[in-house]
Homo-oligomer: A and B are copies of this chain.
C-alpha cells in the first residue's frame, strides 16, 4: 500500500498537494487508473484511484473509506524536555511515530536547555513517518508546556516519571500494566530537579528507571516508546 497524506478527504474526490502530487506522479510515476491510499492523519484511510495524474494537483476518486484505521484501545503520551540539538528531537519524532505515540508534549523544566521546538518541522516529520509506517493517526504535538502545567492536567491512565538518581525508582517493566494508557515524563540532559521529582510524585506519577545505563534524553524517550510498543503489540 502506497500511502499519501491529504488534509481534507471528506468528499469522494480529492486533490493532492503539490508536494504529494510531485511524489506520486514524477517520482513514483503513477498514472490514470493506478491505485493508492490516502490518510488525513485523523484516523481516516481511503483507497483511491487516480483520475488526473497532474504533477502539481493530482486528482483522485475514493473507492473505499475506512474510519479509525488501526485505532487501539490504549494511548501513549510522551512528554520530553527538548534537547539543545534540535536534530535529536527530529530523529526522536520520526522513531516515536514509527513505534507508536499518540501525543507528544515538549516540556519546559528547571534544567531545560531549550524551551522552543521547530514545530512545523516536527509536524512534517510526523506526517512522513505515518506514511512510511502505514498509520492513519498522526500524533497530537503540543506547544512547549511548563512541567507544572502538565503535572496538574488530568490523565486517565498510568503516569510515570523517569529520572537518574533516587531510591524510590523501580524498573518500568515492573509497574506498567500492558494495554493501559500511559504518560511518561523524560527530563532534560541535567535531569529533573529534586523539587520537580517531588511535585511529580505528589501528583501521582510513579518513579521509574529505564535500565541500568545513563541515557541521553532522546534515547530515554525512545527506550520508553519501544517498551510500550513491545508490551502492547500483537
Q: Which residues of A contact B (CB under 8 A)?
A: 91, 95, 98-100, 132-135, 171-173, 209-216, 219, 222-223, 226-227, 229-234
On whether the beta carbons of B231 and A226 are closer than 8 Å, the reply is no
How many angstroms between the C-alpha atoms of A173 and B135 in the bound complex?
23
CB–CB B100/A213 < 8 A: yes
New A-B contacts (15) at CB < 8 Å, excluding given A135-B213, A211-B232: A98-B213, A98-B219, A99-B223, A100-B212, A132-B214, A133-B215, A171-B233, A172-B230, A173-B231, A212-B233, A212-B234, A223-B226, A223-B229, A226-B227, A227-B227
Q: Answer whether A230 and B210 are a contact pair too, CB < 8 Å, given A95-B219, A219-B99.
A: yes
Chain B residues, CB < 8 A from A214: 132-134
Residue pair B234, A230 in contact (C-beta under 8 Å) = no
Verify A95–B213 contact, CB threshold 8 A: no
CB pair B133–A213 under 8 Å, yes or no, is yes
Question: Is A211 a contact partner of B99 (Cβ separation < 8 A)?
Answer: yes
Q: How far is the CA of A100 from the CA of B210 in the complex (A)?
A: 12
Provide the residues of chain B in CB contact with A227, threshold 8 Å: 226-227, 230
14 A-B pairs with CB atoms under 8 Å apart are A98-B213, A99-B215, A100-B211, A100-B213, A133-B213, A171-B233, A209-B234, A210-B229, A211-B229, A211-B234, A212-B229, A222-B222, A222-B226, A223-B226
Task: Give the CA-CA distance A67 to B80 in the complex, in Å.
Answer: 36
Contacting pair A95 B222 (CB below 8 A): yes
Residue contact B213 to A230, C-beta cutoff 8 Å: no
Residue numbers in B under 8 Å from A230 (CB-CB): 171-173, 210-211, 223, 226-227
Q: Which residue of B lies closest to A210 (CB)?
A: B230
Contacts of A234 in B (CB 8 A): 171, 209, 211-212
